[in-house]
Amino acid sequence: MSGNVLFDAPGPRTIARHRVYTGITLLAILGLVLLIVGKLNETGQLEYAKWEPFVTPDYVRVLLVDGLLKTLEMAFFAIIFAVVVGLALGVGKLSEHRWIRLPSFLVVEFFRAIPVLLLMIFIFYMLSVGDGPLSSFWCVVLALTLYNGSVLAEVFRAGVNAVPHGQVEAAYALGLRKTQVMTIIQLPQAVKIMLPAVVSQCVVALKDTTLGVYILAPGLTFISKQIYLQFFNQVPTAIVVAALFIACNLILTWIAHMLQRRLTGEKSAPAVPTGDGAGAGTF
Amino acid sequence: MDAVFSNFDEYLKAFGLTIGLFVVSSILSLVLGVFLAALRVGPVGIMRKAATVYIGIFRNTPLVIIFIFMAVAAPKLGYNFKFIEDWEVGGYHVSSFFFRSCLALTLYTAAFVCEAFRSGVNAVPLGQAEAARAIGLTFAKSMRLVVLPQALRAVVPPLTSVQVALLKNTSVAAAFGIAEATATMHALTNDNADQRPGIFLSFAVGYIILVEVLTLSSYVIERRWRVA
């Protein structure tokens, strides 16, 4: 619902009032910025020494290669595995056989309801502490895979169910098998529907990699902790790391936006096929 | 399992702290989130932009980083919220760690609460607002009588998932020295190497019960508010 239905076109008095609101808001924002900068300045957080590690090539390299890259790697593996697990569980939840449906349901509900950190600590103690087979890096990946996989299972299930039922009936009428209906009719159409949810889950996974700091996994947070313990520049470090994460997530969201426009762009083409339109044959 | 049952009061106390974190930050984040949502659907451009920037920042920053801001960086700026320790609630003193954790959870969750409310307002069909305007209701009246009652119903499901996420996110406080459920599970796991799966399961069950209570109560509210 767009807001402009709710108001009349503003008259002169309303416009004047909105100007006053705009002024007050601007003053409040300015005041907040001044307060923050003033506080940073007062407590000496803006001194060069506190920011030095972020302009020193060696530290920047450590921050980006050992920090950001490891975090991205972790998120990448977690997402790839989570999509596979989610697909399996999601299709499992849609199965006609109760002995597949019930376990899938239980697994999904269990991993969705417990905090990732709890799971991560458990996996870390079971598989890594002492002479366990996994490094803490893979513990984080495993925990995130199980959690995000369960969330994605629900997304996949909803996406498949959102495909119009006539599509399935038509496919059966053509003589396709159950598996064929799922793989060549339902899933390809469901992907378009669920793409936004999958990408927002990618953002969640990227953010959740930071939990790895609790089990001493490598990554941006781990590196930043070492930096601020060495230079005692907690505030600048937190600002830099937050900025890096925000940039990554915004890029991810932007890619998703482009991808979605690409994939569903055909849908905004005229509903009546014109015959020569790019999207004419793709429905 | 023995480790949990012989320390059962500790188990309950840990979940009590989890619930405390959840309730306080849930209420605060609802207040802040509704305020942000009001800014976001309002007519003043700069307010909309300010709210959008807030959401862009806090939705894309990991909760752990916000915790680092609150628990590690804020004291360096002189904000340690020690004054909170003079307060007394029901015979307990509130620790400044607890308050700062709630603050971090609130700032983070408010962005999601705002988005839930906005999607709720957006879910009201356009025709409703048009009809309200057509019969001559003012902006305030059409909001109060037509749009918001319907938006409130539509907002229950997304708001529930935000609250469930908040409940699970309280576990992050474990990394910053709050002895809530996850931290207690960690401590017990550390001390009882032979009972790790049992300890994990009993804490998982605690969380699952809390999540189910939340989900069921939202279901009840949804049923009760449903119009014919």
CATH assignment at residue B17: 1.10.3720.10
Burial A133-155 (b: 16+ CB within 10 A, else e): eeebbbbbbbbbbbbbbbbbbbb
Please tell me the distance in Å from A31's CA to the nearest CA on chain B: 14
B89, containing H or E segment: strand B88-89
Residue range(s) defining the domain that contains residue B38: 2-225
- The tens place of each residue's pLDDT in chain B, 228 residues long, gives 677 888 888 899 899 999 999 999 999 999 999 999 988 887 788 888 999 999 999 999 999 999 998 888 888 887 877 777 777 776 667 788 888 899 999 999 999 999 999 888 888 888 888 898 889 888 788 888 988 888 888 899 889 999 999 999 999 998 888 888 999 998 888 888 888 899 999 999 999 999 999 999 999 998 888 875
Domains and CATH numbers, chain A: 50-264 (1.10.3720.10)
Mean pLDDT for chain A? 85
Asked whether the predicted pLDDT for residue A277 surpasses 50, the reply is no
| pLDDT for the residue A282 | 29
Best residue in A4, A5, A215 to probe B by mutation, most B CBs within 10 Å? A5
DSSP H helical ranges for A114-219: 116-127, 136-162, 165-173, 178-180, 187-208
| pLDDT for the residue A56 | 85
Q: Which residues contact A78 (CB under 8 A, 6 or more apart)?
A: A140, A141, A144, A145, A148, A205, A209
Q: Which residue carries 């949502």 as its tokens?
A: B37
Q: Do B171 and A18 touch (CB under 8 A)?
A: no
| Contact indicator for B25, B98 with CB cutoff of 8 Å | no
Q: Do B181 and A22 touch (CB under 8 A)?
A: no
A139 is written with which tokens? 């513990």
Q: What is the pTM of this model?
A: 0.87
Asked whether the predicted pLDDT for residue A275 surpasses 50, the reply is no
Q: Which residue carries 């319907």 as its tokens?
A: B150
**How many other C-beta atoms lie within 10 A of the C-beta of residue B56?**
15
Q: Do B62 and A122 touch (CB under 8 A)?
A: no
Give pLDDT tens digits for A155-178.
999 999 999 999 999 999 999 998
Q: Residue A29: its chain B contacts at CB < 8 A?
A: 46, 50
Q: Residue A18: its chain B contacts at CB < 8 A?
A: 43-44
Q: Confidence band (pLDDT; 50, 70, 90) for A48?
A: confident
**Structural Rg of chain A based on CA atoms:** 25
Counting one residue from A and one from B, how many pairs have CB atoms under 8 Å apart?
155
**Structural Rg of chain B based on CA atoms:** 21
| Contact indicator for A196, A183 with CB cutoff of 8 Å | no
- Centroid of chain to Cα B183: 19
| pLDDT for the residue A283 | 31
Q: What mean pLDDT do residues A130-159 have?
A: 91
Number of domains, chain B? 1
Q: Do A118 and B200 touch (CB under 8 A)?
A: yes
Contacts 24+ apart (CB under 8 A), B138-145: B139/A6, B139/A7, B142/A6, B143/A6
Best residue in B121, B171, B191, B208 to probe A by mutation, most A CBs within 10 Å? B171
CB-nearest to B171 from A3, A5, A115 is A115
| pLDDT for the residue A272 | 39
Asked whether the predicted pLDDT for residue A111 surpasses 90, the reply is yes
Give pLDDT tens digits for A207-264.
999 999 888 888 888 888 888 888 888 888 899 999 999 999 999 888 888 887 887 7
Q: Residue B174: its chain A contacts at CB < 8 A?
A: 117, 214
ipTM exceeding the 0.85 mark? yes
A32 is written with which tokens? 């907040």
| pLDDT for the residue A89 | 94
B135 is written with which tokens? 């019969």
CB-nearest to B77 from A206, A235, A245 is A235
Q: Do A214 and B130 touch (CB under 8 A)?
A: no
